[in-house]
Amino acid sequence: MRDVAIIGIGINKWGELWNKSLRDIYVEAALNAIDDAKIEKIDAMYVGSMAPGLFVGQEHLSSLLSDYLGHGPIPTTRVESACASGGLAIRQGFIDVASGMNDIVLVGGVEKMNDVDGATATDALASASDSEWEAFHGITFPGIYALMARAHMMRYGTTRTHLSQVAVKNHENGLLNPHAQFQMKLTVDQVSNSAKVADPLRLLDCSPVTDGAAAVIMCPLDMAKKISKNHAIVKLSGSGHATDSIALHSRADLTTLNSTILAAQQAYKMAKLGPKDINFAEVHDCFTISEIIISESLGFFEKGEGGRAVERGETSLSGKMPINPSGGLKSKGHPVGATGVAQVYEVVSQLRGDAGKRQLKNAKRALTQNMGGSGGSSLVHLWEVL
């Protein structure tokens, strides 16, 4: 199996992109990645997208996007794993290059979510839950994550303030990210007193509905050393993928994400690293409680200590384990199919030393974690700069 590196990254400004179509958004990010890599030819492409048929009435993205990018008739695969579609596309691109099937692979993610009304968007997102046992009975993802939050609070003493501090921290980071959807400063009181969505979660605990895309270019490490002259080389050193029961009620513990634990174990083993070797992480903070539970499931903090770690400032840009320097899903936005790829954009920017005002000191190794639904699927990747 060949070692794999990232030689190009691309993204666009995320938000409510009324004047751009799904294909426009994707092509913009993909061309940015191609330009960053200084290449002309692509051998294959993988596209993460959760529900383009529900959001914009368009399926068959493999044909559409390779055509509009101007790189047809290359083999292109659309990848779906709910909100982990982008992370799974990264893994599929990695496997393709590592296997020797193709040399230069573009991996992108895209979602255009604002072309439908709020109720339709909610229904589309609910399709990532158990349609018969959860969505049919009216519970949506805020309700599902509210159950997880309440269980964590009761068992470990996590507080309403801890949840708010996650949002405040991520919005502070998002203020420094020019691509973020919401560049606004929040206070703990603003988050805690925002409109109730599903107790104990408030509106400002929830990630937004977002249009956006991101893309990266992968190639064998040996090739990257020859052709990449403008940037430091970032290697994908570990990859993990696992699933769990899709329905929350089928799990033994509402405060643990087994798919994330198992995916992380695989990635750590492949890279011959552990949690203490990681300098920072981009994780799937679709709700504030998810960042807390994920940080524990990845082994960064002991079980039940994730909220208190945020309170102590350990996950801030200057903390011992910065989490979501991009602003995360909470501030940067969450165009579901693009999120996992955008996490890679952020870690590569940081590892290259190109993250601007949010640049971390001594960033050498990073982790990305992207998951679908309430943790029914999870991808974990480890990255290091050479």
Residue 205 in tokens: 């605990």
Q: 83 catalytic, yes or no?
A: yes
Distance CA 131, CA 25 (A): 30
DSSP for 289-332, written as a single string: HHHHHHHHHTTSS-TT-HHHHHHTTTTSTTSSS-B-TT-HHHHH
Contact yes or no for 241/263 (Cβ under 8 A): yes
Contact 149, 88 (CB under 8 A): no
DSSP assignment of 117-186: -HHHHHHHHHTTS-TTTTGGGT--HHHHHHHHHHHHHHHH---HHHHHHHHHHHHHHHTT-TT-S-----
Q: How far apart are CA 81 and CA 85, in angstroms?
A: 4
The residue among 170, 166, 171 whose CA lies nearest residue 184 is 171
Q: How far apart are CA 205 and CA 307, in angstroms?
A: 14
Choosing from 83, 206, 219, 286, the catalytic residue is 83
* Contact status, residue 187 vs residue 167, Cβ threshold 8 Å: no
179 is catalytic: no
Alpha carbon 187 to its chain centroid, in Å, reads 24
Looking only at the bridges linking them, the beta strands covering 280-282 and 234-243 are unpaired
Cβ neighbour number for residue 116 with a 10 Å cutoff: 17
Name the β-bridge partners of 282: 368
**Annotated catalytic residue: which of 171, 231, 241, 334?**
334
Taking the C-alpha atoms of residue 329 and residue 306, their distance in angstroms, rounded to an integer, is 18
Residues labelled as active-site residues: 83, 334
